[in-house]
Amino acid sequence: MLVLMATYNGEQWLDAQIDSVIQQTGVRVSILISDDGSKDATVDMILERCKRDDRIAHLPFGWKGGSAAANFFRILTSLDPSADYDYVALADQDDVWAPDKLSSCIAFGASHPASGNVGLISAATLAFWPDGAEQVLVQSRRVCQYDYLFEGAGQGCTFVLTWACAINVVAAIKEIPLALRKNVHYHDWLIYAFCRRLGYGWAHVPRPLMRYRQHANNDTGAKGSWTAISHRLSKMLNGWYGAQVNAIALCINHVAPLTDGERRLLRMNPKGELAPGWLNGLLRVPTLLSDGRRSTKERVLVAAFSLFGVLVRKAS
Protein backbone atom coordinates (compact mmCIF):
# COMPACT_ATOMS: atom_id res chain seq x y z
CA MET A 1 0.00 0.00 0.00
CA LEU A 2 1.38 3.38 -1.03
CA VAL A 3 0.10 6.44 0.84
CA LEU A 4 0.48 9.80 -0.91
CA MET A 5 0.70 12.70 1.53
CA ALA A 6 0.59 16.39 0.60
CA THR A 7 2.13 18.84 3.08
CA TYR A 8 2.32 22.59 3.57
CA ASN A 9 3.23 24.30 6.85
CA GLY A 10 2.05 21.29 8.82
CA GLU A 11 4.52 21.22 11.69
CA GLN A 12 1.74 21.27 14.31
CA TRP A 13 0.13 18.03 13.17
CA LEU A 14 2.50 16.15 10.87
CA ASP A 15 4.07 13.75 13.37
CA ALA A 16 0.70 12.57 14.70
CA GLN A 17 -0.61 11.96 11.19
CA ILE A 18 2.50 10.09 10.02
CA ASP A 19 2.34 7.94 13.16
CA SER A 20 -1.29 7.04 12.49
CA VAL A 21 -0.45 6.05 8.90
CA ILE A 22 2.68 4.03 9.70
CA GLN A 23 0.86 2.19 12.50
CA GLN A 24 -1.92 0.88 10.23
CA THR A 25 -2.88 -2.72 10.97
CA GLY A 26 -3.28 -5.50 8.42
CA VAL A 27 -1.35 -3.74 5.63
CA ARG A 28 2.23 -2.93 4.73
CA VAL A 29 2.50 0.81 4.27
CA SER A 30 4.92 3.10 2.45
CA ILE A 31 4.50 6.90 2.44
CA LEU A 32 5.49 9.28 -0.34
CA ILE A 33 5.35 12.97 0.62
CA SER A 34 5.15 16.06 -1.58
CA ASP A 35 5.73 19.41 0.11
CA ASP A 36 4.43 22.65 -1.37
CA GLY A 37 7.16 25.05 -0.27
CA SER A 38 6.57 24.99 3.49
CA LYS A 39 7.97 27.92 5.43
CA ASP A 40 7.87 26.32 8.89
CA ALA A 41 9.68 23.21 10.18
CA THR A 42 7.71 20.77 8.01
CA VAL A 43 10.61 19.96 5.67
CA ASP A 44 13.00 19.32 8.57
CA MET A 45 10.42 17.03 10.16
CA ILE A 46 10.00 15.09 6.91
CA LEU A 47 13.76 14.67 6.55
CA GLU A 48 14.04 13.43 10.12
CA ARG A 49 11.22 10.92 9.65
CA CYS A 50 12.81 9.66 6.42
CA LYS A 51 16.11 9.10 8.21
CA ARG A 52 14.43 7.08 10.94
CA ASP A 53 12.10 5.03 8.72
CA ASP A 54 12.88 3.77 5.22
CA ARG A 55 9.16 3.34 4.57
CA ILE A 56 8.90 7.13 4.24
CA ALA A 57 10.19 9.00 1.18
CA HIS A 58 9.66 12.42 -0.35
CA LEU A 59 9.70 14.17 -3.70
CA PRO A 60 12.34 16.88 -4.24
CA PHE A 61 11.83 19.95 -2.06
CA GLY A 62 11.59 23.50 -3.38
CA TRP A 63 8.59 22.91 -5.64
CA LYS A 64 5.67 25.36 -5.25
CA GLY A 65 2.22 24.64 -6.62
CA GLY A 66 0.18 26.97 -4.47
CA SER A 67 -2.78 24.67 -3.72
CA ALA A 68 -3.69 21.28 -2.31
CA ALA A 69 -4.98 20.20 -5.73
CA ALA A 70 -1.71 21.13 -7.46
CA ASN A 71 0.25 19.29 -4.78
CA PHE A 72 -1.79 16.10 -5.15
CA PHE A 73 -1.64 16.29 -8.95
CA ARG A 74 2.14 16.55 -8.64
CA ILE A 75 2.47 13.51 -6.43
CA LEU A 76 -0.05 11.47 -8.40
CA THR A 77 1.68 12.11 -11.71
CA SER A 78 5.00 11.06 -10.17
CA LEU A 79 3.79 7.47 -9.75
CA ASP A 80 5.71 4.73 -11.56
CA PRO A 81 3.15 2.42 -13.25
CA SER A 82 5.54 -0.52 -12.86
CA ALA A 83 5.78 -0.17 -9.06
CA ASP A 84 4.71 -3.16 -6.98
CA TYR A 85 1.68 -1.91 -5.04
CA ASP A 86 -1.88 -3.15 -4.75
CA TYR A 87 -3.49 0.08 -3.54
CA VAL A 88 -2.90 3.83 -3.33
CA ALA A 89 -4.32 6.07 -0.60
CA LEU A 90 -4.41 9.85 -0.25
CA ALA A 91 -3.56 11.56 3.04
CA ASP A 92 -3.69 15.10 4.36
CA GLN A 93 -1.08 16.25 6.87
CA ASP A 94 -3.38 17.17 9.74
CA ASP A 95 -5.74 14.23 10.36
CA VAL A 96 -5.49 11.14 12.54
CA TRP A 97 -6.36 7.78 11.03
CA ALA A 98 -8.03 4.90 12.86
CA PRO A 99 -5.59 1.95 13.09
CA ASP A 100 -7.75 -0.11 10.72
CA LYS A 101 -8.59 2.63 8.22
CA LEU A 102 -6.80 1.11 5.25
CA SER A 103 -7.60 -2.53 5.95
CA SER A 104 -11.27 -1.68 6.52
CA CYS A 105 -11.50 0.24 3.25
CA ILE A 106 -9.90 -2.63 1.35
CA ALA A 107 -12.21 -5.21 2.94
CA PHE A 108 -15.29 -3.07 2.34
CA GLY A 109 -14.41 -2.57 -1.31
CA ALA A 110 -13.82 -6.28 -1.80
CA SER A 111 -17.22 -7.16 -0.24
CA HIS A 112 -19.18 -4.47 -2.09
CA PRO A 113 -21.94 -5.74 -4.42
CA ALA A 114 -19.92 -4.36 -7.34
CA SER A 115 -16.68 -5.71 -5.85
CA GLY A 116 -15.33 -6.88 -9.19
CA ASN A 117 -15.37 -3.32 -10.45
CA VAL A 118 -14.72 -1.12 -7.40
CA GLY A 119 -11.68 1.05 -8.01
CA LEU A 120 -12.27 3.78 -5.42
CA ILE A 121 -13.22 3.52 -1.76
CA SER A 122 -13.88 6.48 0.53
CA ALA A 123 -15.02 6.58 4.15
CA ALA A 124 -16.96 8.57 6.68
CA THR A 125 -14.99 10.85 8.98
CA LEU A 126 -15.30 12.25 12.47
CA ALA A 127 -14.75 15.99 12.17
CA PHE A 128 -13.41 17.54 15.36
CA TRP A 129 -12.74 21.10 16.47
CA PRO A 130 -10.32 22.62 19.02
CA ASP A 131 -13.24 23.32 21.38
CA GLY A 132 -14.03 19.60 21.63
CA ALA A 133 -17.02 19.58 19.27
CA GLU A 134 -17.36 16.57 16.97
CA GLN A 135 -19.51 15.68 13.95
CA VAL A 136 -19.74 12.49 11.91
CA LEU A 137 -19.63 13.18 8.16
CA VAL A 138 -21.12 10.48 5.93
CA GLN A 139 -21.65 10.71 2.18
CA SER A 140 -24.85 9.72 0.42
CA ARG A 141 -24.04 6.33 -1.08
CA ARG A 142 -26.63 6.46 -3.83
CA VAL A 143 -24.85 6.53 -7.18
CA CYS A 144 -26.54 8.61 -9.88
CA GLN A 145 -25.78 8.42 -13.57
CA TYR A 146 -24.20 11.87 -13.75
CA ASP A 147 -23.28 12.67 -10.14
CA TYR A 148 -19.56 12.83 -11.00
CA LEU A 149 -20.22 15.94 -13.09
CA PHE A 150 -21.60 17.78 -10.06
CA GLU A 151 -19.76 16.46 -7.00
CA GLY A 152 -16.90 14.34 -5.71
CA ALA A 153 -17.00 11.22 -3.55
CA GLY A 154 -16.41 12.69 -0.12
CA GLN A 155 -13.19 13.79 1.53
CA GLY A 156 -10.23 12.97 -0.69
CA CYS A 157 -8.13 12.36 2.41
CA THR A 158 -10.13 9.13 2.88
CA PHE A 159 -9.61 7.84 -0.68
CA VAL A 160 -8.19 4.38 -1.31
CA LEU A 161 -7.77 3.34 -4.96
CA THR A 162 -6.81 0.02 -6.45
CA TRP A 163 -3.45 0.26 -8.17
CA ALA A 164 -4.97 -0.41 -11.60
CA CYS A 165 -7.57 2.31 -11.10
CA ALA A 166 -5.00 4.78 -9.78
CA ILE A 167 -2.65 4.26 -12.72
CA ASN A 168 -5.46 4.68 -15.24
CA VAL A 169 -6.68 7.85 -13.50
CA VAL A 170 -3.12 9.21 -13.42
CA ALA A 171 -2.73 8.51 -17.14
CA ALA A 172 -5.89 10.53 -17.78
CA ILE A 173 -4.72 13.41 -15.58
CA LYS A 174 -1.38 13.51 -17.41
CA GLU A 175 -3.24 14.10 -20.69
CA ILE A 176 -4.89 17.27 -19.38
CA PRO A 177 -3.01 20.47 -20.28
CA LEU A 178 -1.90 22.44 -17.26
CA ALA A 179 -4.06 25.37 -18.40
CA LEU A 180 -7.16 23.19 -17.94
CA ARG A 181 -6.01 21.32 -14.86
CA LYS A 182 -5.23 24.48 -12.90
CA ASN A 183 -8.92 25.46 -13.02
CA VAL A 184 -9.88 22.40 -10.94
CA HIS A 185 -10.03 23.32 -7.27
CA TYR A 186 -10.80 19.82 -5.96
CA HIS A 187 -8.38 17.11 -7.06
CA ASP A 188 -10.58 14.48 -5.40
CA TRP A 189 -13.58 15.51 -7.51
CA LEU A 190 -11.55 15.04 -10.70
CA ILE A 191 -10.26 11.69 -9.46
CA TYR A 192 -13.82 10.52 -8.81
CA ALA A 193 -14.99 11.80 -12.19
CA PHE A 194 -12.31 9.84 -14.02
CA CYS A 195 -12.94 6.72 -11.93
CA ARG A 196 -16.56 6.78 -13.02
CA ARG A 197 -15.80 7.67 -16.65
CA LEU A 198 -13.24 4.86 -16.84
CA GLY A 199 -15.85 2.36 -15.68
CA TYR A 200 -14.76 1.85 -12.08
CA GLY A 201 -17.22 1.48 -9.23
CA TRP A 202 -17.17 3.47 -5.98
CA ALA A 203 -17.84 2.28 -2.43
CA HIS A 204 -18.23 4.41 0.70
CA VAL A 205 -17.60 3.02 4.19
CA PRO A 206 -20.29 4.52 6.48
CA ARG A 207 -18.19 4.01 9.62
CA PRO A 208 -15.86 6.91 10.52
CA LEU A 209 -12.27 5.76 9.95
CA MET A 210 -10.48 9.05 10.44
CA ARG A 211 -10.45 12.03 12.78
CA TYR A 212 -10.85 15.00 10.41
CA ARG A 213 -9.16 17.96 12.07
CA GLN A 214 -10.92 21.32 11.66
CA HIS A 215 -8.91 24.53 11.88
CA ALA A 216 -8.58 27.93 10.26
CA ASN A 217 -6.39 26.65 7.42
CA ASN A 218 -8.64 23.82 6.17
CA ASP A 219 -8.94 23.91 2.38
CA THR A 220 -12.57 22.73 2.57
CA GLY A 221 -13.53 21.53 6.02
CA ALA A 222 -16.75 20.06 7.35
CA LYS A 223 -20.19 20.85 6.03
CA GLY A 224 -23.17 21.51 8.24
CA SER A 225 -22.53 24.77 10.08
CA TRP A 226 -24.42 27.90 9.09
CA THR A 227 -21.11 29.44 8.03
CA ALA A 228 -20.37 26.50 5.75
CA ILE A 229 -23.90 26.50 4.32
CA SER A 230 -23.72 30.23 3.61
CA HIS A 231 -20.32 29.78 1.99
CA ARG A 232 -21.61 27.03 -0.31
CA LEU A 233 -24.69 29.03 -1.33
CA SER A 234 -22.58 32.05 -2.17
CA LYS A 235 -20.37 29.87 -4.40
CA MET A 236 -23.44 28.79 -6.34
CA LEU A 237 -24.78 32.33 -6.60
CA ASN A 238 -21.55 33.89 -7.80
CA GLY A 239 -20.91 31.22 -10.45
CA TRP A 240 -17.92 29.57 -8.77
CA TYR A 241 -19.63 26.18 -8.51
CA GLY A 242 -20.77 26.31 -12.14
CA ALA A 243 -17.22 27.14 -13.16
CA GLN A 244 -16.00 24.03 -11.33
CA VAL A 245 -18.59 21.86 -13.08
CA ASN A 246 -17.34 23.39 -16.33
CA ALA A 247 -13.70 22.69 -15.42
CA ILE A 248 -14.44 19.02 -14.66
CA ALA A 249 -16.38 18.65 -17.91
CA LEU A 250 -13.58 20.23 -19.97
CA CYS A 251 -10.98 17.93 -18.39
CA ILE A 252 -13.09 14.87 -19.14
CA ASN A 253 -13.78 16.03 -22.68
CA HIS A 254 -10.06 16.52 -23.35
CA VAL A 255 -9.32 12.89 -22.47
CA ALA A 256 -12.48 11.23 -23.79
CA PRO A 257 -15.18 13.19 -25.67
CA LEU A 258 -18.28 13.85 -23.63
CA THR A 259 -21.15 11.49 -24.35
CA ASP A 260 -24.36 12.73 -25.94
CA GLY A 261 -26.08 12.40 -22.57
CA GLU A 262 -23.42 14.45 -20.81
CA ARG A 263 -23.60 17.14 -23.47
CA ARG A 264 -27.39 17.34 -23.31
CA LEU A 265 -27.31 17.69 -19.54
CA LEU A 266 -24.49 20.20 -19.43
CA ARG A 267 -25.86 22.22 -22.38
CA MET A 268 -22.39 22.76 -23.82
CA ASN A 269 -22.04 25.64 -26.27
CA PRO A 270 -19.97 25.40 -29.51
CA LYS A 271 -16.86 26.42 -27.56
CA GLY A 272 -17.22 23.38 -25.31
CA GLU A 273 -18.31 25.42 -22.28
CA LEU A 274 -21.44 25.37 -20.14
CA ALA A 275 -23.94 27.75 -21.72
CA PRO A 276 -25.41 30.23 -19.20
CA GLY A 277 -28.96 31.59 -19.08
CA TRP A 278 -32.36 30.61 -17.72
CA LEU A 279 -33.44 28.54 -20.76
CA ASN A 280 -30.38 26.31 -20.61
CA GLY A 281 -30.88 26.14 -16.86
CA LEU A 282 -34.49 25.05 -17.33
CA LEU A 283 -33.52 22.35 -19.81
CA ARG A 284 -31.01 20.91 -17.31
CA VAL A 285 -33.57 20.56 -14.52
CA PRO A 286 -35.25 17.18 -15.31
CA THR A 287 -31.95 15.28 -15.51
CA LEU A 288 -30.52 17.13 -12.53
CA LEU A 289 -33.51 16.01 -10.47
CA SER A 290 -33.22 12.39 -11.56
CA ASP A 291 -29.53 11.80 -12.12
CA GLY A 292 -27.60 14.74 -10.67
CA ARG A 293 -26.07 14.83 -7.21
CA ARG A 294 -26.54 11.79 -4.97
CA SER A 295 -28.39 13.42 -2.08
CA THR A 296 -32.04 14.29 -2.78
CA LYS A 297 -31.80 17.71 -1.14
CA GLU A 298 -28.61 18.46 -3.07
CA ARG A 299 -30.27 17.47 -6.37
CA VAL A 300 -33.19 19.78 -5.60
CA LEU A 301 -30.86 22.62 -4.60
CA VAL A 302 -28.73 22.41 -7.74
CA ALA A 303 -31.83 22.04 -9.92
CA ALA A 304 -33.34 25.15 -8.30
CA PHE A 305 -30.24 27.21 -9.02
CA SER A 306 -30.25 25.90 -12.58
CA LEU A 307 -33.98 26.70 -12.99
CA PHE A 308 -33.41 30.33 -12.07
CA GLY A 309 -30.44 30.60 -14.41
CA VAL A 310 -27.80 31.25 -11.76
CA LEU A 311 -26.00 27.88 -11.71
CA VAL A 312 -23.82 29.07 -14.58
CA ARG A 313 -23.15 32.80 -14.50
CA LYS A 314 -20.65 32.78 -17.32
CA ALA A 315 -18.39 30.34 -19.15
CA SER A 316 -15.07 29.84 -17.38
Phi, psi of 148 (to 5 degrees): -65, -20
Where among 186, 213, 240 does a domain terminate?
213
Confidence of residue 224 (pLDDT cuts 50, 70, 90): low
Q: Which of 150, 183, 213 is the last residue of a domain?
A: 213
Question: Does residue 66 sit within a domain?
Answer: yes
Mean pLDDT for 172-195 is: 96
Residues 6+ apart with CB under 8 A from 236: 242, 301, 302, 305, 310, 311
Instruction: Looking at the structure, tell me whether residues 113 and 8 fall in a common domain.
Output: yes
Of 213, 247, 268, the residue that ends a domain is 213
Q: Residue 303's domain spans which residues? A: 226-307
Does residue 79 fall inside a structural domain?
yes
Write down the mean pLDDT value for the chain.
Answer: 91
* pLDDT surpassing 80 at residue 152: yes
Residue 238 has pLDDT above 90, yes or no: no
Q: Based on the domain organization, do 9 and 139 belong to the same domain? A: yes
pLDDT reported for residue 233: 82
| Cβ pair 106, 203 in contact under 8 A | no
Please report which confidence band the pLDDT of residue 227 belongs to, taking 50, 70 and 90 as the band edges.
low
Query: Is residue 186 located within the same domain as residue 253?
Result: no
Is 206 among the domain residues? yes
**From CA 46, how far away is CA 15, in angstroms rounded?**
9
Domain count, the chain: 2
Same domain, 132 and 75: yes
Q: Alpha-carbon torsion 115, 25, 86, 184, what sign? A: positive
**Lowest mean per-residue pLDDT among 42-51, 213-222, 273-282:** 213-222
**Are residues 193 and 252 part of one domain?**
no
pLDDT, residue 109, reads: 95
Mean pLDDT for 53-60 is 98
For helices 163-175 and 187-197, the axis angle rounded to 10 degrees is: 110
